[in-house]
């Protein structure tokens, strides 16, 4: 199959996945540009169109700051998450653009909206994340999990009705992860109200 046909197939796959993920059209445009740039005659050997298309979406979500986890993309694309992450790393190095991989902010906003939490709680959750990053406890952690814990912690500090179960339901982050990240945040952040 010639490269133009493969590019078209990749763009179609990106459009399908973006529609299934119900995410912004800008992500599709960015992902298509990334796909075309990285999937060439020289690089296509041993790399499936579907995996590179999914990886392009994952990288595009980071660039566009759209909060979609690798696990969610992998599930919709029907590929192993570890395979998606390997391809994403390859795509990211191929486009040679530094991307702030750890950005919990969009997840905080998404979770606060879904839980109908106050602006004060949202601001406090952002502050918890900022302090946690500054104190070095965020290294190696999932942005979605770190954000979920910060939202739970902030809601507790603000006396808003919000349980770990509630946060788990809207975020998909396990209750164990929420509890562990929350405890780490509470140790270094304290009462930031």
According to DSSP, residue 136 is labeled T
Per-residue pLDDT at 3 exceeds 90: no
Size of the chain in residues: 193
Domain layout of the chain by residue ranges: 3-95, 105-189
> Which two structure tokens, joined as six digits, stand for 64?
């566009």
pTM here is 0.63
Whole-number pLDDT of residue 100:
61
What count of Cα atoms within 13 Å lies in the side-chain half-sphere of residue 127? 16
The per-residue pLDDT for range 81-90, each reduced to its tens digit, is 999 989 988 8
Q: What angle do CA 16, 21, 27 make, to 5 degrees?
A: 75
With respect to CATH, is domain 105-189 assigned 1.10.472.10?
yes
Whole-number pLDDT of residue 20:
93
CATH architecture for the domain at 3-95: Orthogonal Bundle (1.10)
Q: Calculate mean pLDDT across residues 2-12.
A: 85
Gap between the Cα atoms of 13 and 58, Å rounded = 13
């Amino acid at each position: 199959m010639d490269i133009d046909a493969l590019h078209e197939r990749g763009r179609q796959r990106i459009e399908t996945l973006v529609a299934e993920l119900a995410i912004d059209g800008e992500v599709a445009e960015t992902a298509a540009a990334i796909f075309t740039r990285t999937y060439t005659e020289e690089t296509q050997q041993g790399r499936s169109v579907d995996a590179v298309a999914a990886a392009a979406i994952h990288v595009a979500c980071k660039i566009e700051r759209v909060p979609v986890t690798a696990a969610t993309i992998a599930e919709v694309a029907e590929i192993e998450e570890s395979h998606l992450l390997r391809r994403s790393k390859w795509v990211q190095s191929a486009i040679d653009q530094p991307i702030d991989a750890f950005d919990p902010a969009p997840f905080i906003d998404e979770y606060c909206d879904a839980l109908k939490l106050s602006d004060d709680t949202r601001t406090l959750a952002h502050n918890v994340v900022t302090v946690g990053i500054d104190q070095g406890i965020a290294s190696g952690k999932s942005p979605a999990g770190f954000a979920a814990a910060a939202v739970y912690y902030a809601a507790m500090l603000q006396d808003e009705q919000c349980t770990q179960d509630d946060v788990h339901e809207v975020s998909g982050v396990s209750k164990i992860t929420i509890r562990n990240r929350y405890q780490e945040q509470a140790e270094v952040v304290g009462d930031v109200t």
